[in-house]
Structure 1
Amino acid sequence: MDTQVADTLLGSLIDGRYRIRGRVARGGMATVYTATDERLERTVAVKIIHPTQASEARSRIANFVARFTDEAKTIARLTHPNVVAVYDQGTHAGLPYLVMEYVRGRTLRDVLAERRRLNPDETLAIAEQMLAAIAAAHRAGLVHRDVKPENVLVAEAPTGGVANLVDSVVKVADFGLARAVEASADEEQGNQLMATVAYVAPELVTEGRADPRTDVYSAGIVLFEMLTGRVPYDGDRPVDVAWQHVDRDVPAPSTLVPGLPPVLDDLVQRATRRDPGARPADAGALLAEVQVARDRLGDVNSHTAVLRPVSDEPSFSQPTMMVAAVQPPNRPAWARLPEGASGQGPGRRRAAPEPAEGLGARLAALRSTMLNNPRGRLAVAAVVVTLGLVAAIGGWWFGVGRYTDAPQLVSLTKTEAQARADRAGLVLEYAEPRFDEKAPKDSVLGQSPASAAKIVKGGTITLTLSLGPERFPVPDVIGKVFELAEADLLNVKLVVAKGTPRYDDSLPAGVVVDISPKVGAEVKPGAKVTLILSRGRAPVTVPNLVGKSLTEARTALAQLNLVLVETYKDSDKPRDEILGQSPADGAGVEKGTQVKLDVSKGPPLVAMPRVIGLPCQQAKQVLEGQGYPVTMTINPNAVVRIQIPGENAQVAPGTPVTLTCF
């Protein structure tokens, strides 16, 4: 069944002006038709949003149409020869539509489907015009958000075919359309991703934000596909493809097509850096790099034959190529851009318009007069030489002279980078800094443009500085239940583990009693923190043993099934008296727990004085004066004949002494 016959819009009149003639293409968000503007009698393209995009939720149609109308007005003000012009907008049967310039030709997707991949010169020629259009949008504050081959149109020649791609006129479509649909979808669905995953920038996947560097990334993927004939990533699900952009670097095109010049690898990899700060700042900056790359290819390969296998033997691998920057003839008149447009590559001269018949006759007469006069010939030669010098100097200035190489600033300190930029006459700007485990604080992590890249003299380099290693203190979670403590630690990117729980007299079971590393210790993200939880109060209470004898302590601990550990210490207390204990009295412990006791050794020993031969009463006074209790036997009024302990015996202070007198 013919799908166009089933399309109810065919033949209908939109807004009393646009007669739908045929369907051109159907995309993910809209269908494109050819139509006749019956008021101006010209062919236009009409893009109508799918009903599923505009009416999934009836409550948001008005808001969607308002956003779509605002975007259409913004695009209509974007005037550039490489941008598909927008003529009108409105709604038909509740569906928003745009009326645009009708470009006779094919999409870049159709060209790639036929050719599979393009040679470097064709790739850079198309990229120049594509980036010129996107750069104009960036200057106007627009971000395309959906740069892909389907939105790049290659103009068709009047003869009915696509000319040499180097001389084709390229136009970019769908500026702002993705943004209008996405903004409306956000309100209903919460930041829905509306980009084509094969070309989506990492920051659009992870953060949902887009800026000019997002379009630079997508343009880099389109460059990769034109050079290699494929996109860098594929997968079974769109989400798998999208996250590959976040997790992996885009490979160099030469890894898939051996023989591609290194300048093309550098160009693609610069545009597709995962860090937006490391990419060219916008499409205009990338356009300058593409033009420099094209100049380099032209300088190196201007006389080289194009693309041939190294070996004549058949092979299933890609042939190694000798790449040439083919210098095409002047662009045909039908392919010329309007005045001031940048669509011709470096070194190509624009074909002059055909002179009118009267003006041609006058110019021919003037030429004949000047060439027949020696002074005239000399004047003509002087003018030609002067114009040649002006053209050469101007070409050198705009192509090379006004550029300088960006200095190497990565790994320098902020102060060193500023000094080097000042010496080179360049201005520094700073992107949002980020943490880095290896780079010290205030050292340069990245720069845009990269070192050795071309930059306009006096231009600006954007630096990304290091915040140093990311460290933060362990939060205090002691006294919290495990669930709350775990949530606090996970919030600061720490890994939580449980240690061996223990009894605690003051905290109930399930509450954190200790943490390792300790509270306040500096750790990095992802560090493991071990939580020790309380088991509640232990089942056995330690008795008070201080002041008791060792014998009493042994008895008491044995009854509680606790293990005694004795440590003797010097003390004035009597021998075997308990001086201290651990755990303290009243502490809760398990059966079999060791209780450490400090036991007195008793006072230090002293030498017993000699009292033999002294009268008993005198001897008693001497000993009692030194703290010895005295007992006398037989005759207290006689002389001391025997003393126990004896003379010079080592005894404890206060040892009782017995005197025998007769």
Structure 2
Amino acid sequence: MDTQVADTLLGSLIDGRYRIRGRVARGGMATVYTATDERLERTVAVKIIHPTQAPEARARMAGFVARFTDEAKTIARLTHPNVVAVYDQGTHGGLPYLVMEYVRGRTLRDVLAERRRLNPDEALAIAEQMLAAIAAAHRAGLVHRDVKPENVLVAEAPTGGAANLVDSVVKVADFGLARAVEASAEEENGNQLMATVAYVAPELVTEGHADPRTDVYSAGIVLFEMLTGRVPYDGDRPVDVAWQHVDRDVPAPSTLVPGLPRTLDDLVGRATRRDPGARPTDAGALLAEVQVARDDLGNPNSHTAVLRPVHDTPVAQPTMVVAEVRPAERPSWARLPDSGQRPHRRRATAPEGGDLAVQLAGLRTRAMGSPRGRMAIVAAAMVLGLVAAVGGWWFGVGRYTVAPQLVSLTRAQAEAQAARGGFTLVYTQPRYDDKVPKDSVLGQNPVSAARIVKGGTITLTLSLGPEKVSVPDVVGKDFELAKAELTDAKLTVAKGPARYDDNLPAGVVLATEPKVGTVLKPGAKVTLVVSKGRAPVSVPNLVGKNINEARAILAQLGLTPVETYKDSDKPKDEVLGQSPADGTGVEKGAQVKLEISKGPAQVIVPRVIDLPCQQAKQVLESQGFPTTIQLNPNGVTRFQNPGENSSVPPGTPVTITCL
């Protein structure tokens, strides 16, 4: 019966204090579990480094643990409302672990998987808190080195608005973890790039060097992904993606999502300059720019001017009352500590002196004082009114139409329909879907029947069809390694019954069910058959032995013969063949199949009675029977032995009696 292999850490007690309750996520360097701190009776998160991330040489394990401990102490001293707090550290089973604050919420990667991309105010709100956490680390002399959506946690808002990302609390995790692992990898294998290639800064690729500007670059890529729903570069191999950061400039987000403000293009461009010296110096500097961008987007007219009307009689200089429009306040629980004063735009001021007011009053008096002037003013007012009406109709209604229904159409059909309506199509990253066929439209923005500018752009998401995975070739690999590879391929692993094998040692995968290369749906079960090593009994060589001798040998070894007989030129009861072959390992009680000779095929003795003696001898010997003559060689054959029509082995001697 197949059995599912469970996580051995579930339910275990670490350091006599942390009871593992469930697995939250498995990443490239570590696995995260929820646990109960039985001493303080609170829920915590426990992150345990994978065995493959620790140095392979056990002699250097102590150095890795010491370095990891130093990094953990540095992180624990980093106290900030947007940083995932570290409570404890230690080792379990020789592997380092961290005990951290348990954040109830989702990763930014989960949010993007659900929403695809965020609107600008949500993206900037998340970036502001993310950068506040990284800025605190930079002030403490710590570089994150692996800023990406998987390490950004979006916690539930105290107001309960799960969908309101602007008011959500953002926390950043894994400060210093990549550096601790990378330092040990350098001792073992030289410099290695311990960063996610989609977000890696150019200097990490070319020089292996990281400073606060490296985190600024990665944060800029995260902001790009939040705004556009994709990372700027992709490729068949990670190294190809990494070198694109070195060789190419990050495109402006508005080239992928038309309509994004120029402010966001400039912000992303500044953060992702290939030259580190052209970027903001650290996360704090980039945070100040994000805050200014939020002010710009939230307050297109930061000040409102109210002028008093001009009267016919000369009056004193008109006054201008300026009222500042304040941005919407964030909840107090989510407000970030200021690192300094934000830059403010200069307020508009009233013009100095009264010359302009006097001139305007004089011009109005002269125009209203003549009939032609009054007619000109009326005509101008009518023209302006007509222009305003037509313009209002055009900008409010006339230039708009409705978006066509493109969902469920094939790509060719959608492009043809869009062309008929004069629309431009752009495509986002395609997604897998079990119901929508491949290359059919899975989603559109704006949705069908929504208002859109005539000749505008419609963004389509195409389906990749049902997600399929092939069973990877794990035959010959250790069970745990094969299990990890299948899990990474989104397949479920079960351990089948083990069996003996003469060639593969115990614990190595012999076969998979279904077979390697079979195409399955994600989550499908794959059963692994594992070797038990060589069987304890070796089959002897029995070919050429008499069956009685072969039986005795097999009985002494505790093996069971299974016999079959066949015609053969070999002597009767001689063993002609065996299965398994000699030297094969089997268990006690196993069957050994034997092929045994029945001897040569029987032949019929011909009748030679009443034939002349010499003629009878000639007939018998011509058919292979040695012949002996008794009494008169020149007489007539009266008797023969064996008798006529007897079945005898070939070459049997025949005696004839002649009289």
TM bucket (normalised to shorter chain) is 0.3 to 0.5
**TM-score (ref. length: structure 2):** 0.48
Larger radius of gyration: 1
